[in-house]
């Protein structure tokens, strides 16, 4: 495995962690356990997107889904919608 393959797998793992744990807004925990992994995945993706492979489009999609879900779980209770 070359460097880009290892970084791609690492970025995917970090993006999945961000997407899964970003929805648990209890005592602002995602700021400590989720968002750092999302930021790290974003910077890894910025580094490896230069190789021009089509697989690199998966990482920003996962990050966007995680961010939207995380922000929705933060904003919906403020609007009075409880789960």
What are the tokens at 62?
Answer: 């996962």
Q: Nearest CA to 33 among 51, 10, 17? A: 17
Residue-wise pLDDT for 25-41, tens only, equals 887 888 899 999 999 99
Q: Residue 82 pLDDT more than 80? A: no
Q: Where are the domains of the chain?
A: 3-79
Higher-pLDDT residue of 2 and 27 is 2
- Asked whether the beta carbons of 41 and 11 are under 8 A apart, the reply is yes
Average pLDDT for the chain: 91
Q: Residue 83 pLDDT more than 80? A: no
pLDDT, residue 35, reads 95
Q: Residues of the chain with pLDDT > 90: what percent?
A: 64
């Amino acid at each position: 495995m070359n460097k880009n393959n290892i970084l791609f797998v690492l970025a995917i793992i970090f993006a999945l962690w961000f997407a899964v744990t970003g929805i648990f807004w209890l005592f602002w925990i995602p700021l400590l356990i989720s968002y750092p992994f999302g930021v790290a995945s974003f910077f890894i993706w910025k580094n490896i997107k230069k190789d021009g492979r089509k697989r690199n489009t998966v990482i920003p999609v996962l990050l966007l889904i995680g961010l939207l879900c995380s922000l929705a779980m933060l904003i919906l209770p403020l609007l009075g919608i409880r789960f």
